[in-house]
């Protein structure tokens, strides 16, 4: 499987000539979802779900399908009947040849005064886990954790403890658009030293083989 890191929380996974895209949001490239065979969306926040980007991918290729939670599906399913699938915690399905398990139910707490929305994470081929905006620990071993490294709802101690709890073979940063270049070495050093696993960062457009 080939993993390409797009900007912020978006990643592209390729296997057997097919492409799965996760969270093509407003901070990712305008064409982040184009060329995908299937798209997964973890939740409704605009840095993970950009309706224009998603609609463009669905309109460009009638074979593209989407798997997401109800709050996102309700916004696009009417325009693309039969192509938008609603899923939740515990569901399993196959998308573009990838086996996917759904883990988690709620977005991380931003502030007690802000109501929590729904959020799901996707474990792809029993190997790569993208948690969206939550620190969900799947009940399944994880080889590659897509790690939300910086967000309004987290601090670095929580990120480090999350890596320790999941215990992946390696962690690769996502959710990093708000992290300045000045801060990146600090995050790299502390997560790498304290997380207990191989920790890395890919620049947008950079790929690695898993």
Q: How far is CA 123 from the centre of its chain?
A: 10
The residues of the chain scoring below 70 in pLDDT are none
Nearest by Cα to 64 from 84, 45, 78, 48:
84
Phi/psi region, residue 22 (left: phi>0; alpha: psi -120 to 50; beta: rest), is: beta
Task: List, in order, residues 6 or more apart from 183 with CB less than 8 Å away.
Answer: 150
CATH number of 2-209: 3.60.15.10
In whole angstroms, what is the distance from residue 65 CA to residue 137 CA? 26
Query: What is the structure's pLDDT at 36?
Result: 97
Confirm if 20 and 36 have CB atoms less than 8 A apart: yes
pTM: 0.97
Query: What is the structure's pLDDT at 100?
Result: 98
For the chain, the domains span 2-209
For residue 95, the cross-strand partners are 98
pLDDT in tens, 146-197: 999 999 999 999 999 999 999 999 999 999 999 999 999 999 999 999 999 9
Query: What is the structure's pLDDT at 135?
Result: 98
Confirm if 100 and 124 have CB atoms less than 8 A apart: yes
């Amino acid at each position: 499987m080939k993993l390409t890191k797009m900007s912020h929380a978006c990643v592209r996974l390729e296997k057997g000539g097919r492409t799965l895209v996760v969270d093509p949001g407003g901070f990712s490239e305008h064409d982040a979802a184009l060329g995908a065979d299937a798209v997964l969306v973890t939740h409704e926040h605009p840095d993970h779900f950009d309706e224009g980007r998603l609609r463009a991918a669905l309109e460009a290729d009638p074979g593209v399908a989407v798997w997401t939670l109800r709050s996102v599906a309700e916004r696009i399913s009417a325009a693309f009947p039969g192509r938008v699938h609603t899923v939740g915690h515990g569901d399993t399905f196959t998308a573009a040849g990838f086996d996917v398990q759904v883990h988690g139910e709620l977005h991380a707490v931003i502030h007690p005064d802000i109501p929590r929305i729904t959020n799901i994470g996707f474990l792809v081929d029993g190997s790569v886990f993208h948690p969206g905006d939550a620190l969900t620990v799947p009940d399944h071993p994880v080889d590659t954790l897509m790690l939300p490294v910086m967000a309004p709802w987290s601090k670095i101690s929580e990120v480090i403890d999350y890596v320790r709890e999941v215990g992946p073979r390696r962690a690769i940063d996502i959710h990093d658009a708000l992290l300045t270049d000045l801060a990146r070495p600090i995050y790299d050093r502390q997560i790498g030293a304290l997380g207990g696993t191989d920790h890395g960062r890919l620049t947008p457009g950079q790929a690695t083989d898993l």
